[in-house]
Amino acid sequence: MVLVPTIGVLALQGDVREHMRALGACGVRTLAVRRPAELERVDGLVIPGGESTTMWKLARTFELLDPLRKRIEGGMPAYGSCAGMIMLADRILDGVEGQETIGGIDMLVRRNAFGRQVDSFESDVTLGGLETLGGPGAAEPAAPLRAVFIRAPWVESVGADVEVLGRAETGFAAGRIVAVRQGRLMATAFHPELTGDFRVHRYFADLVRGVTTPRVEQED
């Protein structure tokens, strides 16, 4: 027998397989979440990049939006990348009429702030907290993370309880907030699952391990 946390990936739309591969490399079990019953089986959840309006509408169709809100309110750890950041925001700018979010992070996020698909780019981002992933007593600060921005949002403002983990470092958006954490919730404007650098996923997996009693599973 082995104690292993299960981290789900919201599998309504977006880069689901990439997140599941990254999480698998971090030593956790993964589960694609499309139904409320699957949501109940996970200890934490990743909300992937994709299209936030499509994700919201499909969550309504699959009767997942309210269960997602209840699990978040109940303390389930969650991480959102790009569109997932929008879904975890309490407030959004430039959304479509009537657009809803899951909420949970006290922030105002601007949808598609970095531009259209053709404006996608890569940039180094230094994230606070990643230096702890070397284990206790890690001597070296973490190297910058190569961040992929695809029709990405940015964070306009945060509440007092939100920790800013990273900001854009170059270009017209230099200084804009692109990574945050509030308690058991975290979000990035970029796609760490696309780079092969899984430090963000390890950070989240460690968060899930630290705040959740893992389920007992049979060892494969």
Q: Per residue, what are the HEC states of the chain?
A: CEEECEEEEECCCCCHHHHHHHHHCCCCEEEEECCHHHHCCCCEEEECCCCHHHHHHHHHHCCCHHHHHHHHHCCCCEEEECHHHHHHEEEEECCCCCCCCCCCEEEEEECCCCCCHHHCEEEEECCCCHHHHHCCCCCCCCCCEEEEECCCCEEEEECCCCEEEEECCCCCCCCCEEEEEECCEEEECCCHHHCCCCHHHHHHHHHHHHHCCCEEECCC
pLDDT digits 0-9 by tens, 10-32: 999 999 999 999 999 999 999 99
Side chain identity at 44, as an amino acid letter?
Answer: G
Q: Domains (ranges, CATH) in the chain? A: 2-217 (3.40.50.880)
Residue numbers of the chain with a pLDDT score lower than 50: 1-2, 118, 133-139, 218-220
Q: Quick one: tokens of 5?
A: 């946390």
**190, 81 Cβ separation under 8 angstroms:** yes
Catalytic residues: 82, 191, 193
Task: Please tell me the predicted confidence (pLDDT) of residue 120.
Answer: 65
Task: Please tell me the predicted confidence (pLDDT) of residue 115.
Answer: 66
C-alpha to C-alpha distance for 169 and 22, rounded to whole angstroms? 25
Residue with tokens 């309880």: 161
Task: Please tell me the predicted confidence (pLDDT) of residue 151.
Answer: 84
Q: Quick one: tokens of 195?
A: 């780079």
Is the full-model pTM beyond 0.85? yes
Q: Quick one: tokens of 30?
A: 């993964």
186: CB partners within 8 A, 6+ apart: 78, 79, 80, 165, 179, 180, 203, 204, 207
Task: Please tell me the predicted confidence (pLDDT) of residue 1.
Answer: 42
